[in-house]
Structure 1
């Protein structure tokens, strides 16, 4: 029997957690303890296994597992691919062609044309389905890494590890440092529990949990402390689960997809119009001939009319760009495989090409721009001394064993964090990232190990004082012979204010006012450089005081200063260069972070994101902006600090409304809506949550911004590959359709037989797609602006090349077609009047062969989209292109020499071959001439840097405009700061106005030259 109060519903529990409504728990259920009882559980003993496995409990509150979508089969992707509009047209054309071929033409060969079309469709469908299927398998494999884990749960009064999927509402769960909260719950008891809720709320600061702040969200990590909680919402009813359900909205078409659909429609209409005209002209000529000769109608004449239909359908088949979807698929699939080597797991193939047109990248800071590993960057050990480098300071510690012991104990024993060490990869930091930075620093000092220090002093530890948000400090109390020792650490300015003495190489000495002021100025300098400051201190307490109730006031007073450390999450070494590449490529890089504006601006400067004229703003100020106000600063907005998920979503949405192509990064559950909103969403493969990965288009396997830059490169390469193929494809189609059109009207038949056209249309296009869509990218792609969302797919230069090559080919082919009487001598053929059917076939073979070789050489021309005169640049590295080209030439030779009646060809002698190759290769010279015609393509304009005097003040809004530093990065700015810092100390005691003015000039906190101008406008009255 289920012992649960029916008044407790799953919706009520979910709502309480969502709103963090402790008052409602007290009013409706009589407090947390009564709620536990109403859930049929017990604070001390938890549920019994029988109660937990009761189906009624699961039915009432659900399972701690999302409803997984069944794995899609290969046939599903085949069925999905075959619904493409272009492929449907091809299938209909193929069926009609086969029916006509078997009923009207020679049944022995009439099936060939339609079958060839179906073969083309089959290739496209199988390649598309295969890529989608493999992509799905790879993503499922990625998710399987985080699969099942065990959770410490109290069942029947005993702590038992159970599967996270077996958790039910009412379970009592034990949490320790490093654990991931397995479900939504309410805090029952614990000590010093600190939780990282950034994945759900976007707030970077850790949250302290207690009976007054009891709500624990699934997916968040325990940074320090321990606790027990009661599970109140699981699976789809948890906040994590609800957010995941919001991600099931369909994705919109990408910019390139939309452009390709329009292009396919235009080409299809062109072919349809040409086919209708051909059929109409042929039918009209037939009717005129039939009526003027006064012939009697016979049903056998129907075959002639059906032949007209076959000719018209052949033109449609030639015109429809069936190679286009194949080129797209091949290019995207090739890029996807190569991008894996650049640590980009592409979930949606279309994201590859979309990145080619990206105009904005909105990047997180932690882990993407930085290493996500807090590191001790600077330190001040004992008295302030600027005569030593950071490495020299560490070496000096080795010369003072007693002092080193003091420092190692202060770091190791006043901490609950730990490090999981690995030989083949970076160590894992478990617990407070700040404490882990100290532990890493200690372990790098020769012969030092925090683990050894903890084991040796385990018996000395009497009590710990968890970090207090009020005191901004934590402490550990240890036995020290006949005395007791306190090791304290905390916010630098707070701890220094509580210090009365300072450590030296021998014994502690009293801290003077000058030394304390020097330390405070040092803290300011650390903070101005974006460092998180922390001070370690200690004090000895006489034995008799321990019997009393030691308050925190006693513990945290009269301390001895050990050292000041500046901690920072360093930027990745490759990030500044990658950001610079993106900016040179016309991409606006913005940083959105939950950190304070000072830290955000320092990191943004290091990454080259915040530049002269750029605007930095905090989230609360950003939220006050109207759309019009946002539009006025958005061209210059480079940093948003204290950024919430809502802020990020609004910015991304507004950028897209303004026509920008936006890429955004995210790792938390709260980032999922923004990842879906963006044109391309990047999730973190290491630090990212499952929800973020599922909402994203590309997973960064190394969480590195440099991988985003590589994705831009591949995206642009995809875009260029499609354009190269379109340049090649349209030339082939225009020439083939016009030759078939003109020949059919003038001679009553096309000079190119349907099976020859299908070799051109199927094999040439398929191999052309393979050749042009698999060229590797070059760094030169970073040297131009992105393609805009509304930029034309076919540029002016492409039209110049397409029309120019079409004119060249059509001119020579028409000359051959209608200059037979003149060319018979050149080709060693008899006079036109004496031609046999074999001579006519030979002449048509020359036309066919010349046409094909024109395409071979134009394929080389199509490698270039710019005015570059060297079409062979880098061709030696394009192995697939060269392989496809030589293979195609080999097949063409075999078709001409051995195709016979099946392909409508005859053997050609060396003169005829030489003529075909000369006309074809002439296209290279003609292409060289075409590229000398000066044509510039329209590109989106670079945004000019912001001018402070040109930006209207926004009432009530504070924002910073970055200024050019007064002293450059290679100047003696740091030395000047240190000198004036010492002068300021003296000035504080002498009260000299002149030095106060100097302080105002060089203040790192308010100077325009270092941190930019803070623009403030008073609200209008």
Structure 2
């Protein structure tokens, strides 16, 4: 407990660190021998132990009180006028093995991003398909060359799509001016050494912990309490921003040895990736494996027939007559038909892989941007981490610093307390708890906290609890007062251990570790320090507490729309993989060509994303509890819908390829065009079904989203134009109004399939609950 208490004292505000020694009494007299030995022992490159850091934090204020800043400079073997010597061996001894930095990582260059986007199994396989099609098209077969160039074009689209998200602007490392050997020198802030004399002016960030050294001058720091930094109050800490005046800094600690650096070492995790990309990666991996297995299956069948030397002319599979004389001849027979045309193997390979790659990341990023502008009215932004909005939708606890609370509840902004109370009740209804945090003892905040019948606790008591006591009380806390930055960090860590998703609203530099530890770190632009803003996930511009309710609602709306879009995208992708596979194995060719599938993917993916990602939130969205961390992205209801709709599209396509020509008395080209056109129209009604993954009435509220109708109309217009142009340029089958009506009926039947699937599922659930009880469905 004693160590924890020391740790808490160490991480207190600067006034607590610099004014008292470990016992809380005035600084004791320190001899010159003690000064030199203490400094050389604990400000050296061997500063690894926690006890050494504690001793250093207390010895420097004692030295300043006894002998002034000059005494510290002498012990550090530096000169207040000339700085460190320029001897490399001497500088090497001063250099600390620390790489601690809060500066955002610069964005990689354009070509680096290109290489990263191309480093994907699917992209390389598409390159292979393109190469094979070009190679076997060299002999004058235009089909092969056309397929090759189209595949390359698709790859370019994929690469651009992977790079379509907002890129964090590159940021050059901060430079500071130091004095070494009597001369001023510009160095990176990460290269500042213990003993350096750093020049500070307005808008500079303090690059390390240290002491003010320029007599007759003073500094004012960002978020300061109104006092100035001068010879009487010389202590400065890493991360503060100079807002006025000028002076020098004698560096006493750098990197992880600074007050902020030591607190950052207590953060239990690096910034965690939002669960959504991880879930999408899992789905994409499964689809990639399926996309690889399908061509392998076809290749195996073709090799088997080649080995047997099949002479059956009437066979509907690709003809591989005769046994090959050479390996090249065998490969040629696999990738070419007997009539010299392009084999369906490469077509199926390309289409299967294209089915894997959709516009999910692009559509999601555009949807996030849309709802941020529509719901939040540009009053907050998260350019560096746009997926933070999604995390806000699943937040169950919001910790708010006192200063942030006062900023969000300014009388001139939010108009009376009723608005704040209404916002708090709205968050409670949504299952979100509020915890107020103060470094002081505030009766005003205590009154607010007591209205919630929660637990009011002091930071020192919470710090001195055992782990078991903390975990037993943390869920009931509504106010923590008289707390240090270390106490705030422990509070967030305990909440996360209890399975909570935590958002932290702060803004001070010493709150950066808490902002990093929280699932979402929010900083108010008008209040937060520059380093806190850089370390946050979301920056709030609107100083109104009710804005937090809008942020949670925005996150939940985006997450629900993403689920709808993923259901639509997966059902289309799976159907797009199954149709060419089954038809190729059964009939020897796919009715959907290598040109048509990319078109269907492009039109449906991007315009379908526009339709579904702009769906407005439902009225009961804020009455639901936050999503559990263990809850999957794709629910059982979504899988039910995906499977049923993909199977319907596959079954109707295979049936029509088998019997369509006979039933309607049409040619093969017209039959193939009907199948392709029906596939695209199915996606239109698939978008409608995806609006309600669980409800049977998929048309409820459809009038509230004008972008939905725009997307549907554009898809239909583009599809009509594509059918006509393909007929003129390539010679595809043309459709009359009766055949268009057939396609429309096939597409609309997907609505009936969805309704029947959901009705059957409800009947089964009622039957199970009647037989086994409700607990059987849990």
Matched, 1:682 2:522: yes
Q: Distance in 1 between matches of 2:200 and 2:102?
A: 26
Asked if the contact 2:489–2:514 (Cα under 8 Å) also holds between the matched residues in 1, the reply is yes
Q: Distance in 2 between matches of 1:669 and 1:348?
A: 20
Q: How does 1:415-454 map to 2 (within 5 A)?
A: none
Q: Distance in 1 between matches of 2:718 and 2:201?
A: 69
Q: Over aligned residues, Cα RMSD in angstroms?
A: 5.2
Task: Judging by fraction of residues, say which structure has more strand.
Answer: 1
Q: 2:388 aligns with which of 346, 351, 355?
A: 351
**SS class of match (2:720):** helix
**SS class of match (2:608):** helix
Asked if the contact 1:185–1:216 (Cα under 8 Å) also holds between the matched residues in 2, the reply is yes
**Structure-2 residue corresponding to 1:12:** 43
Asked if the contact 1:173–1:231 (Cα under 8 Å) also holds between the matched residues in 2, the reply is no
Q: 1:324 aligns with which of 353, 360, 369?
A: 360
**Structure-2 residue corresponding to 1:103:** 135
Q: Distance in 2 between matches of 1:80 and 1:677?
A: 32
CA gap 1:935/1:79 in 2 versus in 1, 3 angstroms: farther
Matched, 1:581 2:445: no
Q: Distance in 1 between matches of 2:579 and 2:310?
A: 26
**Structure-2 residue corresponding to 1:919:** 746
Q: Distance in 1 between matches of 2:309 and 2:246?
A: 97
Give, in angstroms, the shift of residue 577 of structure 1.
3.1
Matched, 1:641 2:475: no
**Structure-1 residue corresponding to 2:681:** 853
Give, in angstroms, the shift of residue 913 of structure 1.
0.8
CA gap 1:235/1:620 in 2 versus in 1, 3 angstroms: closer
**Structure-2 residue corresponding to 1:136:** 169
Q: Distance in 1 between matches of 2:284 and 2:198?
A: 60
Give, in angstroms, the shift of residue 906 of structure 1.
1.6
Matched, 1:297 2:323: yes
CA gap 1:187/1:633 in 2 versus in 1, 3 angstroms: same
**SS class of match (1:635):** helix
Give, in angstroms, the shift of residue 367 of structure 1.
2.3
Structure 2 residues without counterparts, runs of 5 or longer:
1-34, 48-52, 183-187, 314-319, 336-342, 766-778
Q: Distance in 2 between matches of 1:814 and 1:715?
A: 41
Structure 1 residues without counterparts, runs of 5 or longer:
151-155, 157-163, 200-204, 376-424, 427-568, 830-838, 939-1021
Q: 1:267 aligns with which of 287, 294, 303?
A: 287
Q: Distance in 2 between matches of 1:304 and 1:905?
A: 26
**Structure-2 residue corresponding to 1:126:** 160
Q: Distance in 2 between matches of 1:228 and 1:71?
A: 30
Give, in angstroms, the shift of residue 859 of structure 1.
1.2
Q: Distance in 2 between matches of 1:688 and 1:602?
A: 26
Q: Distance in 2 between matches of 1:325 and 1:317?
A: 17
**Structure-1 residue corresponding to 2:770:** none
Q: Deviations over 1:688-713 (max 9, x none)?
A: 22322222222223455444433322
Q: 1:621 aligns with which of 461, 470, 475?
A: 461
Give, in angstroms, the shift of residue 853 of structure 1.
0.6
**Structure-1 residue corresponding to 2:113:** 78
Q: Deviations over 1:709-728 (max 9, x none)?
A: 33322322332232112111
CA gap 1:59/1:248 in 2 versus in 1, 3 angstroms: farther
Q: Distance in 1 between matches of 2:760 and 2:91?
A: 74
Asked if the contact 1:363–1:591 (Cα under 8 Å) also holds between the matched residues in 2, the reply is yes
**SS class of match (1:346):** coil
Task: Judging by fraction of residues, say which structure has more helix.
Answer: 2
Q: Deviations over 1:89-131 (max 9, x none)?
A: 2321221121221223564332444544544443454355354
**Structure-2 residue corresponding to 1:595:** 440
Moved more, 296-305 or 755-764: 296-305
**SS class of match (1:663):** strand
Q: 2:604 aligns with which of 740, 764, 768?
A: 764
Asked if the contact 2:681–2:744 (Cα under 8 Å) also holds between the matched residues in 1, the reply is yes
Q: Distance in 1 between matches of 2:588 and 2:55?
A: 79
Q: 1:824 aligns with which of 658, 661, 664?
A: 664
Matched, 1:738 2:578: yes
Matched, 1:692 2:532: yes
Q: Distance in 1 between matches of 2:645 and 2:458?
A: 56
CA gap 1:244/1:312 in 2 versus in 1, 3 angstroms: farther
Matched, 1:842 2:663: no
Asked if the contact 2:204–2:242 (Cα under 8 Å) also holds between the matched residues in 1, the reply is yes
CA gap 1:861/1:570 in 2 versus in 1, 3 angstroms: closer
**Structure-1 residue corresponding to 2:773:** none
Q: Deviations over 1:863-922 (max 9, x none)?
A: 22341614351545342x433322221221122122038666221111111111122123
Q: Distance in 1 between matches of 2:234 and 2:55?
A: 10
Q: Distance in 2 between matches of 1:901 and 1:302?
A: 34
Asked if the contact 1:243–1:669 (Cα under 8 Å) also holds between the matched residues in 2, the reply is no
CA gap 1:112/1:659 in 2 versus in 1, 3 angstroms: farther
**SS class of match (1:785):** coil
**SS class of match (1:363):** strand
CA gap 1:171/1:365 in 2 versus in 1, 3 angstroms: same
**Structure-2 residue corresponding to 1:91:** 123
Total equivalences in the alignment: 690
Asked if the contact 1:185–1:233 (Cα under 8 Å) also holds between the matched residues in 2, the reply is yes
CA gap 1:728/1:174 in 2 versus in 1, 3 angstroms: closer
Larger Rg: 1
Give, in angstroms, the shift of residue 341 of structure 1.
0.6
**Structure-2 residue corresponding to 1:653:** 493
